[in-house]
Amino acid sequence: MLTELLNKDTIQIANEVDNWQDAIRLASAPLLQQNKIENRYIQAMIHSIEEHGPYVVLTPKVAIPHARPTEGVKALSMSLLSLQKPVLFGPDKPVFLIFVLAATDSESHLQALIDLTQVLYEPTQIDNIIACQHSDDILKNLKQYSTEERKS
């Protein structure tokens, strides 16, 4: 399921960004373009971190910004921004990979998240993804962790 949400249209690689807010805006751009989220969802993700701190940095180098389904999500979607130079989400929270999560309810996104956790258990796998220069290479890395979508 992970690679159904993350594909060449939703994975971006950039050299660097000025700050974590810009990282979230840039990472979200494909979802905004595809009409999967509204602009206010981006604001909600930024506001959530301003309010609660950088808790979206789940593990070193990786952030999974997200807000609530009611804050402007039109369709279940994810995007990834990989940065060559890290951006600080907090004083000691440098981040290279930003996975934007847009969920429409509290259930449908869970398989993709479970897939993603399998990637993030391995610090070397995180470094492998950061080292990728093309989104195709990132996809190859992610594919081995993606489960088939369950058809019920």
Partner 1 sequence: MKILVVCGNGLGSSFIMELNVKKALTELGKTAEVTHTDLASAKAEKADIYIGAGDIVEQLDERKGKIVSIVNMMSISEIRSKLEPLF
Q: Which residues are catalytic?
A: 66
Task: Determine which residue in the list 20, 66, 76, 135 makes contact with partner 1, applying CB under 8 A.
Answer: 66
Q: At its nearest, how many Å lie between partner 1 and the CB of residue 55?
A: 4
125 binds partner 1 (CB under 8 A): no
Q: What is the side-by-side order of every strand in the sheet holding 77-88?
A: 11-14, 77-88, 94-102, 61-63, 57-59
Give the residue with the Cβ less far from partner 1, 16 or 122: 122
8, 40, 68, 134: which one contacts partner 1 (CB under 8 A)? 68
Of 60, 79, 77, nearest to 123 (Cα)?
60
Q: How far is the CB of 134 from partner 1 (least distance, A)?
A: 26
| DSSP bridge partners of 102 | 77
Q: 3-state SS of the chain: helix, strand, coil percent to 5?
A: 40, 20, 35
Cα 69 to the center of its chain, rounded Å: 16
Interface residues with partner 1 (CB under 8 A) are 48-49, 51-56, 58-60, 64, 66-69, 101, 103, 106, 109-110, 113-114, 116-117, 120-121
